[in-house]
Amino acid sequence: MTTNTIDTTAKMRKAHQDTLGGPEVLRVIETGIPAPGPGEVLVEVRAAGVNPIDTKIRAGGMWLVPPFTLGWDVSGVVAAVGADVSRLAVGDEVYGIPDFPHLAGGYAEFVVASERSFAPKPSTLDHEHAAALPLSGSIAWQALVEVAQVGPGRRVLIHAAAGGVGHLAVQIAKSRGAYVIGTASAAKHALLSELGADEVVDYTTVDFATAVRDVDVVLDLIGGEYEDRSLATLRPGGILLNITNPPAADATAAKAEAAGVRGVTVDLDPNPTRLTRLAELADAGELRPIVAETFPLDEVVKAHETAEAGRTTGKIVLIP
């Protein structure tokens, strides 16, 4: 059934870029509201998360070529549905990852994407906090639960444990019964303990590669030399999860094999079932997304500057 509750000849605002470069290439423009096609929904965006992948693509393009609008973390309300949409209806509060890795454009007042990009929003979270969860929570869940099969008693080391992915990964691993060790600066230790971390290592004063031993799983959210040093912390047969550099998948696997462990690169494959599991965990009080700062859409440049400073605890969120 096709249902429209808004005038799609009306205009909306979105953050757009015509060229690659620094945060200054982002500008807010006015454009038409897109109409959903078959299998698609139009979502009125109430909040949109900012992720490291956004800043990397803005600056370097990676697999995408401008002009485009960024944004893959969205929470909002279904405003219209296209033909053959069966799970969602106009008025539903939803959250999700619009058409990743293709561009759908979540930094906007409205976004159109496939129905499978979305799931019902966690009922206990407002839109700001729900927008902090989809992409970061999904990659953490995919890596820890689906790939590493983290369970009771497993020792899990999470780097950048207070960051956008890290703080969710700590809670997901803890919800599975794991013993969780995080690396973070001292100022963030109290928060990580509150989120369930059993140990926190101050990477600014302690070498985690010598302080941590016999872990079953390392979730590497930093990459570079952290990957090499993390191998020493794993017990034989352990697993190193790389999500920061998918092109290096073969090199990661080879280094890990030489060290007697497994090295697996996790490429996000979004699905609504995973979003539903994350929502259930949030509504059960076991997963709390942290929003470090919110910015109006007009301050998208400042939001990216803040994100690139690399000192954020939790997530940065845009409010269209």
Residue 8 — very low, low, confident or very high, per pLDDT cuts 50/70/90?
Answer: low
The share of the chain scoring above pLDDT 70, in percent, equals: 98
Q: Given this model, what pLDDT does residue 4 score?
A: 58
Structure-model confidence comparison of residues 63 and 9, the more confident one: 63
Q: Given this model, what pLDDT does residue 2 score?
A: 45
Tell me the mean pLDDT in the region 100-118. 96
Q: pLDDT of 211-249, one tens digit each?
A: 999 999 999 999 999 999 999 999 999 999 999 888 789
Tell me the mean pLDDT in the region 262-286. 97
pLDDT at 191 over 50: yes
DSSP the chain: --EE-S-TTSEEEEEEBSS-SSGGG-EEEEEEPPPP-TTEEEEEEEEEEE-HHHHHHHHH-TT--SSB----EEEEEEEEE-TT--S--TT-EEEE-TTTTS----SBSEEEEEGGGEEEPPTTS-HHHHTTSHHHHHHHHIIIIIIS---TT-EEEETTTTSTTHHHHHHHHHHTT-EEEEE--GGGHHHHHHHT-SEEE-TTTS-HHHH---EEEEEESS-THHHHHHHTTEEEEEEEEE-S-GGGHHHHHHHHHHTTSEEEE------HHHHHHHHHHHHTTS----EEEEEEGGGHHHHHHHHHTT--SSEEEEE-
Q: Per mean pLDDT, which range of 105-114, 262-271, 289-298, 308-317 is the poorest?
A: 308-317
Q: pLDDT of 301-313, one tens digit each?
A: 999 999 998 788 9
Catalogue all structural domains in the chain, each as residue range(s) with its CATH number: 11-121+290-318 (3.90.180.10), 136-265 (3.40.50.720)
